Amino acid sequence: MPLTAAPNRYHAELAWLGGPVPVADVMIEVVDGRITTVRPGWAPGPAERGSIRLAGLTLPGLANAHSHAFHRALRGRTHGSRGTFWTWRDGMYALAQRLDPDSYHRLARAVYAEMALAGITAVGEFHYLHHAPGGSRYADPNAMGHALLAAASEAGIRLTLLDTVYLTSTVDGEPLRGPQLRFGDGDLDGWADRAQALKTGPGARRGAAIHSVRALPGELIGAFVPLAEGMPLHVHLSEQRAENEACQARYGCSPTELLHTYGALGPDSTAVHATHLSDVDRSLLGDTETAVCVCPTTERDLADGIGPARALADAGSPLCLGSDSHAVVDLFEEARAVELDERLHTERRGHFGADELLMAATVCGHRAIGWPDAGRIAPGHRADLVTVDLSSVRTAGAEPLAAAVFAAGSADVTHVLVDGRPVVRDGRHATLDVARELSEAIGAVWP
């Protein structure tokens, strides 16, 4: 799908340009993958019939700021005997043992294509499945990372490879064992040597990640932060109370305080989950403008709890969204869950407006994974457009912006443009039979 040199004109019946209500009849002109003109109230004249009409509501591309692509193969497979956290984690480790660069490439391509169908135009892949079983190196030590980069390119979406350091298995510094041996680079030099050799092409960039305070001792967090200079830095934070308790026992502080002590918080950093926080933790995250990526459908699947999303946003942390374990790939569902979970928790409605939730799904998510020129329908921005059907059985009759956030599902996405290239048309992926690819790729890892 080469970029087109001639201007492409789109006529959005309704487009969300960032305000509280969408705008009617918006002409969006695209040149070489960038938006060059946005003109509301546009009616194509007889000589301008060449424009492509987008019926429904057109949004900027959605950013999935937290993904572990391989977890998609666990969907619907961890609920036997009702399921516990451990049935999920045992399944995840068993799955991690089965993948090689070829099978991971096929699986990830299908997963990223599923994301494209859901309107996701860029993904932050929190990647720690680096090495062969037992921890031995592939001939290309980045074979798994390169498989993910190829998968995203073939699926038509951008990818930030959040290359994850994972050196220990507990807060007390126990060594990696069994399936975890695939995750480890031995030491920080091992991580840096491998990570710096990663080759990214167009539509991809590098980021860094600390798996969690379980996986990197405090003093090494301080040594790792300079290695991540100039890149997005992500970290799983206080997803479960047990992590907080172990951190208090070892360091006498919370995981957030530990990260702050070693300089890992800041506007280029994103804390993933941030579920179980103290008032001090929330202030540290907000004061440092650390973004927080909430992953409500995974957090409910794993019984993690409900994080303080409103309080974090009020403290100064930009919120973004991730589908994480891919129990569900639907950022509309993630967005509305941020509000609906607060309602359940507080027994009160009205914490987030639909436009705030869309900001989390678009501009804040893109910024968190290193694409600050994406996530808005505005001149100069990347031409990522996502059109939502407002006449489906789910969305018919709803107010347009509320339809997208509180009623739509990923199946309501009809058209997706990524960097000016049409990736989804009429609800179908331009090049891949996504359901068949998912079925075959997952069938291959669970024969």
Parallel, antiparallel or unpaired: strands 23-31 and 8-15:
antiparallel
Catalytic annotation, pick one of 11, 71, 273, 415:
273
Instruction: Name which of residues 225 to 264 contact Zn ion (CB under 5 A).
Output: none
Output the six-digit token pair for 433.
Answer: 């039979």
Q: Which is nearer to Zn ion, 72 or 421 (CB)?
A: 72
Burial track 96-108 (b if 16+ CB lie within 10 A, e otherwise): bebbebebbbbbb
Catalytic annotation, pick one of 301, 324, 330, 412:
324
Show the binding pattern over residues 138-157: x = contacts Zn ion (CB under 5 A), - = does not: --------------------
Show the binding pattern over residues 281-320: x = contacts Zn ion (CB under 5 A), - = does not: ----------------------------------------
Q: Which is nearer to Zn ion, 294 or 442 (CB)?
A: 294
The DSSP symbol for 168 reads B
The Cα 9–Cα 391 span in angstroms is 23
Residue nearest to Zn ion as judged by C-beta position: 324
The Cα 151–Cα 161 span in angstroms is 12
| Secondary structure class of 222 (helix, strand, coil) | helix
Task: Give the interface segment with Zn ion, choosing from 212-220, 322-330, 379-387, 406-414 (CB under 5 A).
Answer: 322-330
Number of residues in contact with Zn ion, rule: CB under 5 A?
1
Query: Which one, of 186, 187, 233, lies nearest residue 206 by Cα?
Result: 233
The distance of closest approach from Cβ of residue 166 to Zn ion in the complex, given in angstroms and rounded to an integer, is: 12
* 149 phi/psi in degrees, rounded to 5: -65, -40
Cα 202 from chain centroid?
19
The distance of closest approach from Cβ of residue 280 to Zn ion in the complex, given in angstroms and rounded to an integer, is: 24
Task: Give the interface segment with Zn ion, choosing from 27-35, 227-235, 324-332, 394-402 (CB under 5 A).
Answer: 324-332
The distance of closest approach from Cβ of residue 232 to Zn ion in the complex, given in angstroms and rounded to an integer, is: 15
The distance of closest approach from Cβ of residue 431 to Zn ion in the complex, given in angstroms and rounded to an integer, is: 28
Q: How far apart are the first and last CA of the chain?
A: 34
The distance of closest approach from Cβ of residue 67 to Zn ion in the complex, given in angstroms and rounded to an integer, is: 8
The distance of closest approach from Cβ of residue 227 to Zn ion in the complex, given in angstroms and rounded to an integer, is: 21
The Cα 233–Cα 227 span in angstroms is 10
Q: Which is nearer to Zn ion, 22 or 91 (CB)?
A: 91
CB 95 within 8 A of CB 77: no
Q: Which is nearer to Zn ion, 210 or 403 (CB)?
A: 210
Q: Which is nearer to Zn ion, 182 or 351 (CB)?
A: 182
Q: Which is nearer to Zn ion, 58 or 169 (CB)?
A: 169
Residue 324 is a catalytic residue: yes
Name the H helices within 118-240.
143-155, 188-196, 218-224
Question: How wide is the angle at C-alpha 152 spanned by C-alphas 87 and 53, nearest 5°?
Answer: 115
List, by residue number, the catalytic residues. 273, 324
Q: Applying CB under 5 A, which residues contact Zn ion?
A: 324
